[in-house]
Amino acid sequence: VFQLSMPLNFLGTIYREVRQSLLDMEVLFNLQSEHTSAKDPPDAKPLALSGGEISFENIEFAYHPSRPIFHDLSFTIPAGKKVAIVGPSGCGKSTVFRLLYRFYEPSAGRILVDGQDVSKVQLASLRSAVGVVPQDTPLFHADILHNVRYGRLDASDEEVFAATKKAHVHETIIKLPDRYATPVGERGLMVSGGEKQRLAVARALLKDPPILFFDEAARIYSTSSLDAQTESELMKNINATLLDRARTSIFIAHRLRTVVEADLIIVLKDGAVIEQGTHEELMLRRGLYYSMWQEQAADAEYSQAIVE
- Minimum gap (Å) between residue 292 Cβ and ligand ATP: 12
Binding part of the chain for ligand ATP, among 40-48, 90-98, 189-197, 292-300 by CB under 6 A, reads 90-98
- Minimum gap (Å) between residue 160 Cβ and ligand ATP: 29
- Judge contact between 68 and 62, C-beta under 8 A: yes
- Minimum gap (Å) between residue 215 Cβ and ligand ATP: 7
| Contact flags string 11-50 toward ligand ATP, x per CB under 6 A | -----------x----------------------------
- Minimum gap (Å) between residue 93 Cβ and ligand ATP: 4
Distance (Å, rounded) from C-alpha 196 to C-alpha 202? 10
- Judge contact between 46 and 228, C-beta under 8 A: no
Distance (Å, rounded) from C-alpha 18 to C-alpha 9? 14
| Binding residue (CB under 6 A) for ligand ATP from 28, 31, 50, 63 | 63
| Contact flags string 65-84 toward ligand ATP, x per CB under 6 A | ----x---------------
Restricting to residues 117-176, name those near ligand ATP by CB under 6 A. none
| Binding residue (CB under 6 A) for ligand ATP from 81, 82, 93, 102 | 93
Question: Which residues is 113 bridged to in the sheet?
Answer: 54, 116
| Binding residue (CB under 6 A) for ligand ATP from 52, 92, 151, 271 | 92
Q: CB under 8 Å to 224, separation ≥6 — which residues?
A: none
Confirm or reject binding of residue 94 to ligand ATP (CB under 6 A). yes
| Contact flags string 222-261 toward ligand ATP, x per CB under 6 A | --------------------------------x-------
Confirm or reject binding of residue 89 to ligand ATP (CB under 6 A). yes
Q: How far is CA 206 from CA 61, 148, 152, 252, 259, in A?
A: 32, 8, 6, 21, 24
Nearer to ligand ATP, 121 or 253 (CB): 253
Binding part of the chain for ligand ATP, among 87-95, 197-205, 255-263, 269-277 by CB under 6 A, reads 87-95
Confirm or reject binding of residue 95 to ligand ATP (CB under 6 A). yes
Q: CB under 8 Å to 102, separation ≥6 — which residues?
A: 39, 118, 119, 123, 126, 127
Describe the strand order of the beta sheet including 108-113 as a list of residue ranges. 67-77, 54-64, 108-113, 116-117
Confirm or reject binding of residue 90 to ligand ATP (CB under 6 A). yes
Q: E-strand spans in the chain?
A: 54-64, 67-77, 82-86, 108-113, 116-117, 130-133, 211-215, 248-252, 264-269, 272-277
- Minimum gap (Å) between residue 4 Cβ and ligand ATP: 21
Radius of gyration from C-alpha coordinates of the chain? 20
| Total interface residues for ligand ATP by CB under 6 A | 13
Distance (Å, rounded) from C-alpha 26 to C-alpha 42? 24
Question: Which residues is 40 bridged to in the sheet?
Answer: none
What is the binding site for ligand ATP (CB under 6 A)? 22, 63-64, 69, 89-95, 218, 254
